């Protein structure tokens, strides 16, 4: 019996030492070799991916007839035809996930600072004071489906 108790104590002692003396993480090993490189891809186009830019000059005579909304409010429209922008239908382009950004080049001619130009993203609102004339100007852009 004494031998069995000594054996159990000894086994417990060996077990306790083996559990507490284990190191969970060793030192970091050496860095491995670099793997093989894959095939070289096809060279892409330089530039701004699929960005397309068009410049339109809209003359006073290009605007559609005046629509009056009372209180001196006048509305005029200008239609951007696909022929003027590389045969791109803006509505279909936008519906297909494309993004359309428009900017207006506003020309100011004032007595104080002289003529100035400023490129503004649409929609854009401003007011103009020309002597006795005072009016507001709002330029905006909306996509409309072209009739088939």
Confidence of residue 147 (pLDDT cuts 50, 70, 90): low
Contact by Cβ (8 Å): 127, 138: no
**CA pair distance 131, 66, nearest whole angstrom:** 23
Mean pLDDT, rounded, for 124-143: 72
Nearest to 94 by CA among 148, 48, 145: 145
Mean pLDDT, rounded, for 36-49: 77
Residue 106 pLDDT more than 80?
no
CB atoms within 10 A of CB 90: 19
Averaged pLDDT of the chain: 76
pLDDT (0 to 100) of residue 8: 75
Mean pLDDT, rounded, for 102-125: 75
pLDDT (0 to 100) of residue 100: 84
Contact by Cβ (8 Å): 74, 63: no
**CA pair distance 48, 30, nearest whole angstrom:** 43
pLDDT (0 to 100) of residue 23: 58
Per DSSP, the residues of 74-141 read: EE------GGGGTT--HHHHHHTT-----EEEEEEEETTTEEEEEEEESSEEEEEEETTEEEEEEE--
Mean pLDDT, rounded, for 28-55: 80
Residue 125 to residues 44, 45, 60, 85, 121: CA-CA distances in angstroms? 40, 38, 18, 25, 10
pLDDT (0 to 100) of residue 16: 65
pLDDT (0 to 100) of residue 148: 59
Confidence of residue 146 (pLDDT cuts 50, 70, 90): low
Percent of the chain past pLDDT 90, that is, above it, reads: 0
Report pLDDT digits (tens) over 44-58.
777 666 778 888 888
Nearest to 88 by CA among 50, 60, 121, 114: 50
Confidence of residue 77 (pLDDT cuts 50, 70, 90): confident
């Amino acid at each position: 019996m004494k031998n069995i108790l000594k054996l159990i104590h000894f086994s417990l002692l060996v077990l306790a030492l083996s559990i507490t003396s284990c190191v969970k993480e060793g030192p970091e090993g050496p860095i491995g070799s670099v793997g093989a490189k894959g095939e070289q891809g096809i060279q892409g186009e330089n530039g701004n991916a699929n960005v397309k830019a068009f410049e339109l000059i809209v003359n006073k005579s290009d605007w559609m007839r005046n629509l009056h909304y009372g209180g001196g409010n006048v509305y005029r429209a200008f239609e951007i035809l696909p022929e003027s922008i590389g045969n791109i239908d803006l509505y279909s382009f936008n519906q297909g996930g494309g993004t359309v950004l428009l900017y207006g080049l506003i020309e100011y001619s004032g007595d104080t600072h002289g003529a100035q130009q400023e490129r503004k993203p649409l929609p854009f609102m401003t007011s103009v004071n020309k002597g006795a004339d005072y009016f507001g100007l709002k330029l905006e852009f909306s996509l409309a489906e072209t009739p088939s």
